[in-house]
A and B are shown apart, each in its own frame.
Chain A
């Protein structure tokens, strides 16, 4: 799975549940068409930079698939060595079930299901929080996507998709703006607002926009936490490509930590 598609998958998965007008629906369909039915991204690097500029590098593999429109995503860490084997599995619940998050830590040697992850819980110490991942879905799932006035990013025309949680929904962000490239239907940028304050910003360099097997993807993503003054760069260092088959044990809570 390519990094850009990771965002795309999330967007599309929840977008399917949302009601939208024709133009919006057309954009969502375009984005959906960019997502292969099953995906795999291999060899990612997550470089987190703290407030003091110090960096921490996590290397691992990301596996993802979409079954019945629902996301299955596994992140398994291989570096640093003392974190080798730490794994995080997210299974989207859909309309009837809650999302599920499973964690495996080699030191504990047990799988733990995590429910109601706290809003500040980050994804393995990166700026991609548990909630950010869920929020991307929850925001779309509970809210009505609305197209705003188009703009450009680096001379590329982009559609602006505004997502706002429904009243009473317990979403972390009050508003998310996704800037979707008109040509590739990939989100080159996303802004996450807390109240009126832009809390986080996800960007992708345009030259990171690539195409493999007919599908657009972004090879590099940068998530910046503007409040904490930290950032995490997600880089795809090796792409296996899409595959029709993925071992089901990868997304099984009882076996996901064992490897492919």
Chain B
């Protein structure tokens, strides 16, 4: 069963289609939402880790750090006490707050002035009570705390801000997801505890957990807002365009069903919605609704063109009309998405898979379900499309412009491509982390306040691995780590760096009555072990493992964003490589993983774009059965890509996880317009036999739906501009801009390039009916394969004529040659008002070849039955020679043979 017949069967069974879709949608809904608990089954994971592969080495290091040291990025609470933290009352409040914070959900540890021992050595006694305990026991001791903290590398700029006004609490929060954080109202409880303790003038929270929770909330809100917003915006557009509530509602329902299927697929495939895949739902809606515009245009056209046809006939006509364009559009869009499967990040691959499925769903539903729904809902009102005349006039002007300034347009496009890609060399990879929130968002303000007070709020963990037990008690290696730590502290990005070496030196100092000479690493391994044994406890276990085989340096950095962190990591890793064997340093932490994720994205996007371009060009070459035609169809789509990257370069916008996706997405979508134009142009050119006229008629036909679809897509993208997350705002604005550029290229460059191109689509090739074994029954096609015969036929013009039509008029000057495919014709001459029949010709007969050689027509030819003729001229043959030289050679040979036979026959007759 060929495609057309299959569509006919579907068109005749609208109820079956509707029922099948309804059943599938119910199943999909059950997959999306648990009907008993009413809880959604899909998840939003806002972490940067979610972007990285499960077996990413960076994740493995982070897991190792978590497992060995029980540490993670802390949740930092900074409480401001003016004018200073250092008063007995404030220390008491800090102790009270530490107790209150310990009661918060998931909190396993609170590190603060209330828990940090302020080791004091006097005579032979070592006092290891905490700052808070010392303040409670002797309020006058508080006067020395500022100096004590300044002298202590573990506490300096960690427990109290540099201006002594803000106390920090580092909370270890275990097994609390961002969702739980929000559900438990963690932030409000912290602020309430601070209010209750009194004395504080400000409180700030930051850390991976609150930022992830905020991102999760923002993503949630973005999804909740963008999805209805895209629906609303496009519903208005559809209503304004088609002036039919039923049509608009049907289109929206189709897309909504596709969305449900897409989310259900995410649940089935266990793909989580993260910073990247959160784009999929609005993207599917946008693409889907742009498809429905083409279908609704065809639906209403069918009302005017086939007023007396049955519903099923019209549905079949609609399906057939959009079949080529929609299939090609969906295929190229899918190729754009699938090219992202090359990306090393599973999050991007998940996005690609989900977006591909979503596109296929909307394609299939638009193709099959929407026509059936329109029939079922009796969407029969005649709705003359709006602005047809306006678009028609514009198309005429555009066609003249495109043909007149063909060279200039092509030159300008080439220049844009060159300039765009040249400017693209200035693009830097990088993503803002906290700066992806707006300036007034609490989480960003808190982060910046803490970063300012404590010289940094991002954490990098350096895992030092010595590979054998007790190795890290060797003074030689400890000295090397100490020097590395000093180097780290000297870096402008570093606010603090602490390790077990600090703990070791401080304990050694205390055990030696605070003799400054002993603020040093003990001289031998045994002494190191004994000092560490004395210092052992949870605090030390956070810095070195009990086997003394691996340790961490906890580095607080005062920069944010992948570029600044990446620059620091590059230098730090180079310096770490100088550590003596067997020491090996690896960097990890949430900000490090996020930086790695961004770098991996930047590394993968160029390959994805290249693959997408090549794959789309190959597909177009296959579709248009010519490499040249494929390339011509691809070039207009390079312009928006070049302009997009040029825009990034000129505006200094970095490539980040979302902006790096735009090129592939837009490429996949923009090719649709090219395909729609070229398919229409091809059909018109064949029908009219003139490319110039075909440019105008094709533009007249496609300008309106393509423009409306582009408006629809741009509006869909622009909805993202209202997001709270700056990267999604960038995504929306840049996506809309690039689609607009693609529209301009398709309305100017594509006609300019295609105006001299006769293309044959694969669909044409498959559908063309030349009768049985044309290469055996039509002498002109002898020696050609079926495909070649069809190609030749499609490079020519296939005409249908009813009985009694004059095909050739004797005496005319015309260079067209005809081949009879079906039916019969009669060659006659009129002499002295007498009509003499020279011959009757049927399938395979060639006529008019004399005209081809510049002679006047020697006889008239009329149809004696309905006929199908293949008509071609010298230009067609020349085009054939250029595009398909082997077919042309065979046709020329056959033509010569036919001529030779005819001359031989004539000669025989004369004799």
Interface residue ranges of B110-164 to A (CB < 8 Å): 115, 117, 124-130, 133
Which B residues are closer than 8 A to A by beta carbons?
A: 67-68, 70, 102-103, 108, 115, 117, 124-130, 133, 469, 511-512, 522, 524-527, 529-534, 536-539, 541, 545-547, 549
Chain A contacts for B124, CB-based, 8 A? 110-113
0/1 string, A157-182, CB within 8 A of B gives 1: 00000000000001000000000000
Chain A contacts for B126, CB-based, 8 A? 112-115
The reply to whether the CB of A118 lies closer than 8 angstroms to some CB of chain B is yes
Asked whether, in the complex, the Cβ of A107 is within 8 Å of the Cβ of B526, the reply is: yes
- Give Cα A226 to B129, complex, Å: 25
Given contacts A107-B527, A113-B124, contact A121 B469 (CB under 8 A): no
29 example contacts (A-B, Cβ-Cβ < 8 A) are as follows A51-B67, A51-B545, A52-B67, A56-B546, A56-B547, A83-B526, A83-B530, A103-B534, A105-B534, A106-B530, A107-B522, A107-B524, A107-B526, A107-B527, A110-B511, A112-B124, A115-B125, A115-B127, A115-B129, A117-B128, A118-B128, A118-B129, A121-B536, A122-B538, A124-B536, A125-B533, A125-B536, A197-B108, A228-B70
Asked whether, in the complex, the Cβ of B536 is within 8 Å of the Cβ of A122, the reply is: yes
Q: Which of A50, A82, A120, A197 contacts B530 (CB 8 A)?
A: A82
Can you name the residue of chain A whose Cβ is closest to the Cβ of B510? A112
- Looking at chain B's contact residues, is the secondary structure mostly helix, strand, loop, or mixed? mixed
Chain B contacts for A122, CB-based, 8 A? 536-538
Q: Could you tell me how many residues of chain A have their Cβ less than 8 Å away from some Cβ of chain B? A: 38
- Give Cα A188 to B524, complex, Å: 42
Asked whether, in the complex, the Cβ of A108 is within 8 Å of the Cβ of B530, the reply is: yes
Can you name the residue of chain A whose Cβ is closest to the Cβ of B526? A82
Chain A contacts for B70, CB-based, 8 A? 51, 227-229
Interface centre among A115, A125, A129, A228 (most CB of B within 10 A): A125
- Give Cα A177 to B108, complex, Å: 20
Chain A contacts for B538, CB-based, 8 A? 120, 122, 228
Interface residue ranges of A177-193 to B (CB < 8 Å): none
Asked whether, in the complex, the Cβ of B469 is within 8 Å of the Cβ of A54, the reply is: yes
Given contacts A82-B525, A105-B534, A111-B124, contact A50 B129 (CB under 8 A): no
Chain A contacts for B547, CB-based, 8 A? 50, 52, 54, 56
Given contacts A105-B531, A107-B531, A195-B103, contact A118 B537 (CB under 8 A): yes
0/1 string, A65-102, CB within 8 A of B gives 1: 00000000000000000110010000000000000000
> In whole Å, how far is B59's beta carbon from the nearest beta carbon of chain A?
17
> In whole Å, how far is B120's beta carbon from the nearest beta carbon of chain A?
9
A-B pairs with lowest CB-CB distance, top 5: A116-B129, A107-B527, A82-B526, A120-B538, A125-B536
> In whole Å, how far is A144's beta carbon from the nearest beta carbon of chain B?
22
Task: Taking A82-B530, A106-B526, A113-B124 as given, write out 20 further A-B residue pairs in contact, using a Cβ cutoff of 8 Å, ordered by the A residue number.
Answer: A48-B546, A50-B547, A51-B67, A52-B545, A52-B547, A82-B525, A107-B531, A110-B124, A111-B124, A112-B125, A115-B127, A115-B129, A116-B129, A118-B115, A118-B129, A120-B537, A120-B538, A124-B536, A125-B536, A170-B133
Chain A contacts for B545, CB-based, 8 A? 50-52, 54
The reply to whether the CB of A119 lies closer than 8 angstroms to some CB of chain B is yes
Chain A contacts for B531, CB-based, 8 A? 105, 107-108
Q: Which of A54, A112, A113, A228 contacts B541 (CB 8 A)?
A: A228
Chain B contacts for A112, CB-based, 8 A? 124-126, 511
Can you name the residue of chain B whose Cβ is closest to the Cβ of A103? B534
Can you name the residue of chain A whose Cβ is closest to the Cβ of B137? A116
Chain A contacts for B529, CB-based, 8 A? 82-83
Given contacts A105-B511, A110-B124, contact A129 B537 (CB under 8 A): yes
Chain B contacts for A82, CB-based, 8 A? 525-526, 529-530
Asked whether, in the complex, the Cβ of A86 is within 8 Å of the Cβ of B68, the reply is: no
Given contacts A83-B529, A122-B537, contact A54 B128 (CB under 8 A): no
Chain B contacts for A50, CB-based, 8 A? 68, 545-547
Asked whether, in the complex, the Cβ of B530 is within 8 Å of the Cβ of A86, the reply is: yes
Given contacts A51-B67, A103-B534, contact A116 B546 (CB under 8 A): no
Q: Which of B103, B117, B511, B532 contacts A118 (CB 8 A)?
A: B117
Asked whether, in the complex, the Cβ of B125 is within 8 Å of the Cβ of A51, the reply is: no
Interface centre among B124, B524, B549 (most CB of A within 10 A): B124
Interface centre among B68, B469, B527, B536 (most CB of A within 10 A): B536
Chain B contacts for A119, CB-based, 8 A? 115
> In whole Å, how far is A131's beta carbon from the nearest beta carbon of chain B?
9
> In whole Å, how far is B193's beta carbon from the nearest beta carbon of chain A?
15
> In whole Å, how far is B538's beta carbon from the nearest beta carbon of chain A?
4
Can you name the residue of chain B whose Cβ is closest to the Cβ of A194? B102
Chain B contacts for A51, CB-based, 8 A? 67-68, 70, 545
> In whole Å, how far is A93's beta carbon from the nearest beta carbon of chain B?
15
> In whole Å, how far is B530's beta carbon from the nearest beta carbon of chain A?
4
- Give Cα A118 to B133, complex, Å: 10
Chain A contacts for B530, CB-based, 8 A? 82-83, 86, 105-108
Chain B contacts for A194, CB-based, 8 A? 102
Chain A contacts for B533, CB-based, 8 A? 83, 86, 105, 124-125
Chain A contacts for B526, CB-based, 8 A? 82-83, 106-107
Chain B contacts for A116, CB-based, 8 A? 117, 127-130, 133
